[in-house]
């Protein structure tokens, strides 16, 4: 899926555009016991509940593709009596088959690792997909009906203690603590909405925490091969370099920053060429070798990094942009500007100091000599010493068109 397709679905999660037919859910406690369940015709909900649940649905399609949103593919065995076929049946039931719902809740509970209470929500929708012209304007007729399920798994936590007004006692006292449903921690969209059409061979997985997604749920719960998020790929790549070059070495930080800058240049060059198709730059083994060479990594360390990179990413090379740490680049750019500014200040200070010394030397010169002359080079040989009326004088021949400046005052002969 691409961003436009995710946004197309999210834009419908509004009061006037929403077409969710049904919503079901199951509240699970910290001991993995089912506490209660719910079955609702979504459009019949009271406004306060309607908007709260709609906000949860929106959050399940939020974040960045490749990081918070991962497209996962079903292996063949899951399409032949496995999880994919089960989800197809659940979707076709429009969430009206209690037995399938119970099996779904059990599947989540068994395979979702979470130390605390949580709420499983699942929505059913049928989206009448409108055809579009090349300029993206909708036409009146639809191309197909995209029928899908949207699942959200939300932590349920006890509200914080505090003081409040106890109306029944007419006093300020401890506020009653209750269990509050939070924003989704994980979830999925099935089937995926690829090329504005249902792709039953894939689903879109959501994780709020891109550093530690629920891999156990991707694999055991949904039956899909797990994928690393962009954050995981970046952290893995950086850890390889630090492990080889040294964890807390200043030299390692310089190498990492050099790699980041070169990576950023590679991505910018690639995007300029592939602006129309949006094809990402995959970081192949050859590209990594060139990247490390350009970044000045010593040969021995480069070979170790290449081996570790192959072990980690041989099956699926990451997109180069996933390994870029934008915050680090911005911090480094800021550091460079600060260093440049510092150098400018030092240069100006040095120039001021030199000027001050020159002025002091001139002042000393003025104090030492009673007369100081400054003339053009061609006049130097014309200066003579003569005694006039018994007084020793310096004589400088002048023509009628020549001018003289005496102590800052211009005059003519």
131-164 per-position pLDDT tens digit: 876 665 656 566 789 999 999 999 999 888 888 8
Q: Is 265 found in the same domain as 195?
A: no
d(CA 257, CA 236): 16
pLDDT at 369: 63
d(CA 148, CA 192): 8
- 260 or 36: which leads in pLDDT: 36
> Considering the domain boundaries, does residue 352 fall inside one?
no
* 371 phi and psi angles, rounded to 5 deg: -130, 130
At 41, the pLDDT band (50, 70, 90 cuts) reads: very high
pLDDT at 114: 93
pLDDT at 26: 96
pLDDT at 361: 65
Dihedral sign, CA of 352, 353, 356, 362? negative
pLDDT at 253: 78
* 268 phi and psi angles, rounded to 5 deg: -65, -40
> Considering the domain boundaries, does residue 158 fall inside one?
yes
Mean pLDDT of 209-220: 94
Q: Is 122 found in the same domain as 179?
A: yes
Chain CA centroid to CA 330, Å:
12
- Which residues, other chains included, contact 167 with Cβ-Cβ below 8 Å and sequence gap of 6+? none
Q: Is 239 found in the same domain as 159?
A: no
At 248, the pLDDT band (50, 70, 90 cuts) reads: low
pTM equals: 0.75
> Considering the domain boundaries, does residue 365 fall inside one?
no
Q: Is 187 found in the same domain as 247?
A: no
Q: Is 116 found in the same domain as 69?
A: yes
> Considering the domain boundaries, does residue 330 fall inside one?
no
- 231 or 354: which leads in pLDDT: 231
- 388 or 137: which leads in pLDDT: 388
pLDDT at 400: 76
Q: Write the pLDDT tens digit of every residue in 329-340.
A: 777 777 778 778
Average pLDDT over the chain reads: 86
pLDDT at 324: 84
pLDDT at 366: 55
pLDDT at 55: 94
Chain CA centroid to CA 135, Å:
30
At 349, the pLDDT band (50, 70, 90 cuts) reads: confident
At 15, the pLDDT band (50, 70, 90 cuts) reads: confident
> Considering the domain boundaries, does residue 350 fall inside one?
no
pLDDT at 70: 95
Highest mean pLDDT among 77-86, 184-193, 264-273: 184-193
- 338 or 47: which leads in pLDDT: 47
At 407, the pLDDT band (50, 70, 90 cuts) reads: low
> Considering the domain boundaries, does residue 288 fall inside one?
yes
Mean pLDDT of 221-226: 92
> Considering the domain boundaries, does residue 343 fall inside one?
no
Asked if residue 277 has pLDDT above 70, the reply is no
Q: Write the pLDDT tens digit of every residue in 280-331.
A: 888 888 888 888 888 888 888 888 888 898 888 888 888 888 888 877 777 7
Domain boundary among 169, 196, 227: 227
> Considering the domain boundaries, does residue 246 fall inside one?
yes
d(CA 218, CA 209): 14
Asked if residue 25 has pLDDT above 90, the reply is yes
Domain boundary among 227, 262, 288: 227
Asked if residue 23 has pLDDT above 80, the reply is yes
pLDDT at 167: 84
Q: Is 201 found in the same domain as 88?
A: yes
Q: Is 240 found in the same domain as 158?
A: no
Q: Is 248 found in the same domain as 202?
A: no
Q: Is 236 found in the same domain as 223?
A: no
Q: Is 288 found in the same domain as 250?
A: yes
Domain boundary among 298, 324, 350: 324
Mean pLDDT of 195-223: 94
Q: Is 287 found in the same domain as 262?
A: yes
- 284 or 276: which leads in pLDDT: 284
Q: Is 270 found in the same domain as 191?
A: no
Range of the domain at 269: 232-324
What is the number of structural domains in the chain?
3
């Amino acid at each position: 899926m691409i961003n436009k397709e995710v946004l197309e679905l999210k834009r419908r999660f509004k009061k006037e555009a929403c077409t969710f037919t049904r919503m079901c859910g199951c509240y699970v406690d910290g001991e993995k016991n089912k506490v209660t369940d719910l079955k609702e015709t979504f459009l019949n909900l009271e406004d306060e509940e309607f908007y709260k649940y709609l906000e949860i649905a929106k959050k399940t399609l939020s974040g960045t593709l490749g990081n918070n949103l991962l497209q996962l593919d079903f292996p063949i065995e899951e399409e032949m009596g496995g999880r994919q076929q089960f989800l197809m049946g659940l979707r076709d039931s429009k969430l009206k088959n209690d037995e399938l719902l119970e099996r779904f809740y059990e599947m989540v509970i068994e395979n979702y690792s979470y130390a605390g209470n949580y709420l499983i929500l699942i929505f059913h929708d049928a989206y009448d997909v409108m055809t579009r012209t090349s300029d993206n304007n909708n036409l009146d007729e639809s191309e197909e009906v995209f029928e899908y399920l949207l699942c959200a798994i939300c932590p349920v936590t006890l509200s914080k203690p505090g003081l409040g007004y106890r109306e029944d006692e007419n006093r300020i006292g401890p506020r009653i603590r209750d269990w509050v449903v939070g924003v989704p921690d994980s979830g999925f969209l099935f089937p995926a909405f690829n090329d504005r059409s249902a792709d039953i061979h894939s689903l879109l997985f959501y994780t709020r925490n891109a550093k530690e997604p629920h891999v156990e749920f991707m694999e055991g719960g949904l039956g899909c091969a797990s994928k690393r998020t962009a954050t995981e790929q970046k952290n893995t790549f950086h850890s390889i370099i630090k492990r080889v070059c040294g964890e807390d070495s200043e030299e390692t930080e310089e190498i990492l920053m050099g790699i980041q800058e070169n990576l950023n240049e590679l991505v910018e060059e690639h995007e300029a060429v592939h602006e129309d198709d949006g094809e990402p730059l995959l970081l192949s083994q050859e590209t990594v070798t060139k990247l490390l060479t350009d970044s000045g990594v010593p040969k021995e360390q480069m070979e170790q990094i290449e081996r570790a990179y192959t072990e980690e990413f041989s099956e699926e090379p990451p997109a180069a942009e996933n390994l870029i740490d934008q915050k680090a680049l911005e911090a480094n750019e800021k550091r460079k500007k600060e260093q440049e500014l510092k150098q400018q200040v030092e240069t100006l200070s040095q120039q001021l100091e030199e000027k001050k010394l020159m002025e002091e030397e001139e002042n000393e010169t003025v104090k030492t000599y009673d007369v100081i002359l400054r003339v053009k080079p061609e006049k130097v040989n014309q200066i003579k010493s003569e005694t006039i009326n018994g007084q020793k004088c310096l004589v400088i021949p002048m023509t009628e068109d020549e001018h003289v400046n005496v102590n800052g005052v211009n005059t003519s002969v």
